């Protein structure tokens, strides 16, 4: 096979480099055979370039393609879906390498590369990933430039330097587009990557769930307070309440999904803060009690948790105002009280008996709660993330046998006992505390800050929150999980890579906090710069403007740019002034549409003769026009001015070709 237009060496080099750079960030979610596929295809490609190998035959190509398809199917269990789709895309990106023989193929490969770079954002959109993607983009640009270079250019560095400078030149445009380009809502919803949004609170709580979270160093959300950061003991981030207990696990009641704002009264100073939460895959937002957000973003549900319509599948930023001392449903007994007394028919008899006993000794509900808390405090309860196994009656076993567990156990047990004693109570799940980052003066809440506590309802006071874990391990609340687990050294024991484990080492910690702060800025100001944030920002700069003005402005700017470009391209000031010449140019354009182009040095007659040979049917008309043109322009015959030639041209135009038939090159 001949190497007709071929792909220059320079372009090939950069294409191979770009492929490595594009595939690299995908490696975490690609099957290993992809590496082998790339090595094979790259070697083959190089051998083709060295003329040691030939292009694959079509049956081989088909075989490779089907093989890759099967590979994806077997390693990902499907051909559709985000992950399988990306693997398929990368496989195609690699396979195209051996098939490409013309510049056009190389261009397809390059564009595929750009697309693959974008897909990597679906998995990782941190600052580092964003900066990294500049590398493959530069390499792809270099490959594109290399395609246009002569094959005599053999040194790859100048090419990539040019690509880099092109990228730099594009930065202002990028910034302008970033700031002003309207963010369109997605036209289709993209399935989420499988391993994202899994860590986090679920809509139910079984023994061990929160312990699992306690081992995860992943970020849950970050908060910037408008004023000072409140003390740790007040930072109970509510996510969801669990009102149903089936003897083993606590879960949300259906009623709590009702979008019905409960009755509450603001007391004390409001607290304003801004939350950027990581994707959780769940619809609820995190906030301190009692919270209010901008309408439209989320709604306060009947159990005081905030919920959106759709699950949070990408980082979400929202502004909250909270009243920490608000009185909740204190005026009259809410309808939901019945749900807060529900217990399974049987099970945990000792706990029930004990609850009745306590109730009898303490007349007031508040006294009952105090007695319970005192019990947790006085008795030898033990806080651990690795509780011993319990039997069927989990509350009984926990309260009277093992006496060791973590927040979920304490909250669950306390709620059970309160309900058994006839006091409406429910488990609240969320996060507690967080890590203050002095570098950015914000709070990072990680998954290991997940927590569960109790709230009970008393007439006239409404819902009251209480944290039994505080009685057992006050350091959990005051200093965080790490201190609570200091004795058993189990904090992030199975996460040796997590920098959070090395908080004791001063400089590592400083570095980690600074880096975290940088990422937070990236997320707040770059990733979340869309929709409302964009409008607000633009309004701050440009004054009052709505989407319509913005759109009109953009269109106007675009129009001006197009006009300038058009002026520059068409150069109306250099318009032909001679009427004959203008007509002739029109004649020329007409023929050009039929595939006959006049060479620069070609006279009217020779051009016409050539055109007549190409379009024999129109020959008389063509020659007639040119004869007239010559007579007027060169023989300077009087009388027959441009009217005549114009009419003649019209005639010509009407006569032979209305439809541009394919240029007659046989």
Partner 1 sequence: MRTRLDACLRAVNEVLLGKEAQVRLALTCLLARGHLLVEDMPGMGKTTLSHTLAKVLGLEFQRIQFTSDLLPGDILGTSVFDKDSGQFVFHPGPIFAELVLADEINRATPKSQSALLEAMEEGQVTIEGATRPLPDPFFVIATQNPVSSGGTFALPESQLDRFLMRVSLGYPAKAAEKALLLGESRRDLLLRLEPLLEHDELRTIQDAVSQVRASDALVDYVLRLVEATRTQPQFAWGLSPRGSLALLAAARAWAFLDGRDYVIPEDVQAVLPTVVGHRLRERADATGHGGGALVQWLLREVPAL
Contact 468, 376 (CB under 8 A): yes
Binds partner 1 by CB under 8 A, chosen from 600, 639, 643, 658: 600
Candidates 580, 595, 621, 600; CA nearest to 608 is 621
- Half-sphere exposure of residue 342: CA atoms within 13 angstroms, side-chain side: 17
The residue from 451, 516, 580, 594 that is catalytic is 451
What minimum distance in Å lies between the beta carbon of 594 and partner 1? 19
The pair of structure tokens assigned to 175 is 């910034």
Q: Is 636 in the site for partner 1 (CB under 8 A)?
A: yes
Contact 87, 72 (CB under 8 A): yes
514 vs 627 by CB, closer to partner 1: 627
**The 3-state secondary structure of 271-291, one letter per residue:** EEEEEEECCCCCCEECECCCE
What minimum distance in Å lies between the beta carbon of 629 and partner 1? 9
Instruction: For residue 491, give the DSSP letter.
Output: T
Give the x-and-dash track for 547-586 against partner 1 (CB under 8 A).
Answer: -------------------------------x-xx--x--
- Half-sphere exposure of residue 493: CA atoms within 13 angstroms, side-chain side: 11
Give catalytic status of residue 451 as yes or no.
yes
CA distance 184 to 146: 34
How many CB atoms lie under 10 A from the CB of residue 340? 22
What minimum distance in Å lies between the beta carbon of 610 and partner 1? 12
Give catalytic status of residue 642 as yes or no.
no
Distance from chain centroid for Cα 101: 36
Q: 624: part of which helix (H) or strand (E)?
A: helix 619-633
What minimum distance in Å lies between the beta carbon of 578 and partner 1? 8
How many CB atoms lie under 10 A from the CB of residue 213? 24
CA distance 597 to 611: 8
Q: Is 640 in the site for partner 1 (CB under 8 A)?
A: no
Q: Is 384 helix (H, G, I), strand (E, B) or coil?
A: coil
438 vs 603 by CB, closer to partner 1: 603
Considering only the stretches 366-374, 456-464, 475-483, 628-636, report the one whose residues sit in contact with partner 1 under the rule CB under 8 A.
628-636
Considering only the stretches 96-104, 201-209, 412-420, 593-601, report the one whose residues sit in contact with partner 1 under the rule CB under 8 A.
593-601
Binds partner 1 by CB under 8 A, chosen from 604, 611, 621, 628: 604
Give catalytic status of residue 446 as yes or no.
no
What minimum distance in Å lies between the beta carbon of 152 and partner 1? 22
Q: Is 605 in the site for partner 1 (CB under 8 A)?
A: yes
Q: Is 601 in the site for partner 1 (CB under 8 A)?
A: yes
Contact 307, 240 (CB under 8 A): no
What minimum distance in Å lies between the beta carbon of 579 and partner 1? 12
Considering only the stretches 70-78, 412-420, 505-513, 599-607, report the one whose residues sit in contact with partner 1 under the rule CB under 8 A.
599-607
Q: Is 378 in the site for partner 1 (CB under 8 A)?
A: no
461 vs 582 by CB, closer to partner 1: 582
Q: 517: part of which helix (H) or strand (E)?
A: helix 506-522
How many CB atoms lie under 10 A from the CB of residue 605? 14
The residue from 29, 397, 407, 409 that is catalytic is 407
Q: Is 634 in the site for partner 1 (CB under 8 A)?
A: yes
**Active site (catalytic) residues:** 407, 451, 467
Binding region for partner 1 (CB under 8 A)? 578, 580-581, 584, 599-606, 630, 633-636
């Amino acid at each position: 096979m001949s190497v007709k237009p071929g792909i220059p060496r320079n372009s090939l080099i950069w294409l191979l480099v770009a492929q490595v750079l594009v595939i690299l960030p995908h490696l975490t979610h690609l099957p290993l055979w992809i590496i082998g596929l790339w090595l094979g295809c790259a070697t083959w490609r190089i051998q083709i370039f060295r003329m040691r190998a030939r292009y694959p035959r079509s049956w081989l190509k088909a075989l490779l393609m089907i093989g890759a398809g099967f590979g994806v199917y077997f390693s990902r269990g499907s051909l559709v879906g985000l992950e399988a789709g990306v693997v398929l895309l990368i496989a195609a990106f690699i396979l195209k390498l051996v098939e490409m023989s013309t510049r056009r193929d190389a261009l397809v490969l390059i564009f595929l590369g750009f697309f693959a770079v974008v897909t990597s954002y679906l998995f990782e959109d941190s600052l580092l990933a964003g900066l990294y993607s500049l590398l493959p983009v530069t390499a792809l640009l270099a490959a594109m430039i290399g395609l246009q270079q002569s094959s005599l250019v053999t040194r790859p560095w100048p090419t990539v330097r040019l690509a880099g400078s092109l990228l730099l030149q594009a930065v202002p445009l990028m910034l302008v587009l970033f700031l002003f380009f309207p963010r369109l809502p997605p036209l289709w919803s993209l399935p989420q990557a499988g391993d994202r949004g899994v860590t986090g609170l679920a809509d139910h709580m079984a023994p061990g769930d929160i312990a699992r979270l306690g081992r995860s160093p992943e970020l849950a959300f970050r908060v910037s307070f408008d004023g000072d950061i409140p003390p740790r003991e007040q930072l109970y981030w509510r996510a969801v309440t669990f009102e149903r207990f089936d003897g083993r696990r606590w879960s949300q009641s259906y009623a709590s999904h009702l979008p019905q704002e409960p009755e509450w009264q603001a007391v004390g100073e409001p607290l304003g803060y801004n939350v950027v939460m990581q994707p959780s895959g769940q619809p609820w937002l995190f906030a301190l009690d009692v919270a209010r957000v901008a309408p439209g973003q989320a709604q306060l549900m009947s159990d005081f948790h905030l919920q959106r319509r759709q699950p949070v599948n990408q980082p979400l930023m929202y502004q909250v105002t909270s009243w920490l001392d608000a009185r909740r449903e204190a005026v009259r007994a809410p309808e939901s009280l019945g749900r807060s007394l529900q217990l399974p028919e049987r099970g945990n008899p000792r706990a029930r008996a004990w609850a009745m006993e306590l109730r009898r000794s303490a007349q007031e509900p508040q006294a009952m709660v105090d007695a319970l808390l005192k019990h947790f405090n006085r008795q030898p309860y033990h806080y651990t993330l690795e509780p011993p196994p319990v039997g069927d009656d989990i509350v009984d076993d926990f309260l009277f046998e093992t006496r060791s567990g973590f927040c979920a156990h304490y909250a669950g047990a306390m709620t059970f006992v309160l309900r058994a004693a006839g006091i409406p109570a429910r488990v609240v799940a969320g996060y507690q505390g967080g890590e203050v980052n002095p570098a950015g003066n914000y709070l990072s809440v990680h998954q290991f800050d997940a927590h569960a506590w109790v709230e009970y309802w008393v007439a006239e006071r409404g819902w009251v929150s209480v944290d039994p874990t505080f009685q057992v391990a006050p350091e959990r609340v005051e200093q965080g999980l790490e201190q609570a687990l200091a004795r058993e050294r189990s904090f992030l024991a199975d996460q040796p890579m997590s920098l959070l484990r090395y908080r004791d080492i001063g400089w590592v910690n400083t570095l980690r906090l600074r880096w975290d702060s940088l990422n937070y800025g990236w997320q707040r100001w770059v990733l979340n710069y869309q929709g409302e944030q964009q409008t607000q920002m633009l309004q701050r700069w440009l004054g009052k403007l709505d989407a319509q003005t913005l759109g009109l402005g953009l269109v106007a700017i675009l129009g001006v740019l197009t006009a300038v470009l058009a002026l520059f391209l068409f150069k109306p000031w250099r318009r032909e002034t001679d009427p004959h010449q203008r007509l002739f140019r029109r004649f020329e354009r007409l023929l050009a549409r039929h595939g006959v182009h006049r060479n620069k040095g070609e006279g009217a007659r020779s051009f016409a003769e050539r055109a007549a040979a190409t379009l024999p049917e129109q020959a008389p008309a063509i020659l007639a026009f040119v004869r007239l043109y010559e007579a007027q322009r060169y023989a300077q015959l009087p009388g027959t001015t441009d009217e005549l030639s114009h009419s003649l041209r019209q005639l010509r135009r009407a006569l032979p070709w209305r439809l541009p038939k394919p240029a007659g090159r046989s």
